[in-house]
Amino acid sequence: MSLSKMSKEAVDRNGKVWSSNLPPLSKKLKRGTGIVVVNRSLAEFVKLPLKKDVLGRYHFLYHDLKQRSERVKLLTQELLQL
C-alpha cells in the first residue's frame, strides 16, 4: 500500500513503531573531538605540542583576542620560542 493511501491511524501507528525502535539519546555514539582547552603558553611545553594542543590554545585565546590574525600571531610566537 502506498503512503498516500494509508489512513491517519496507520501512519501514527507506524510512527510509534519506528520511534520505539530508535535507540535512546543516551546510547548514541558520541564522538569527542579530543580538543581540550589549553590555558598555558605553548612555549612552556617540553616537547612539540600536538595539533590538538595548538587548537586548544587557539580556542582558549578566543576570549582574550577576538581577531583571528592576533591569535595566530601569538600562537606562532609561542611555537617559535620552543
pTM for the structure as a whole: 0.59
pLDDT at 54 over 90: yes
Left, alpha or beta for 36 (phi > 0: left; psi -120 to 50: alpha)? Answer: beta
| CB distance 35 to 52 below 8 Å | yes
Mean pLDDT of 33-39: 84
Q: Residue 18: is its pLDDT beyond 90?
A: no
pLDDT score recorded for residue 60: 92
At 66, list the grid cell.
577576538
> Residue 20 — pLDDT band, cuts 50, 70, 90?
confident
Q: Describe the crossing of helices 68-81 and 51-61 by its angle, rounded to 10 degrees.
A: 130
* Dist. CA 23–CA 19, nearest whole Å: 9
- The pLDDT, as a whole number, for residue 24 is 67
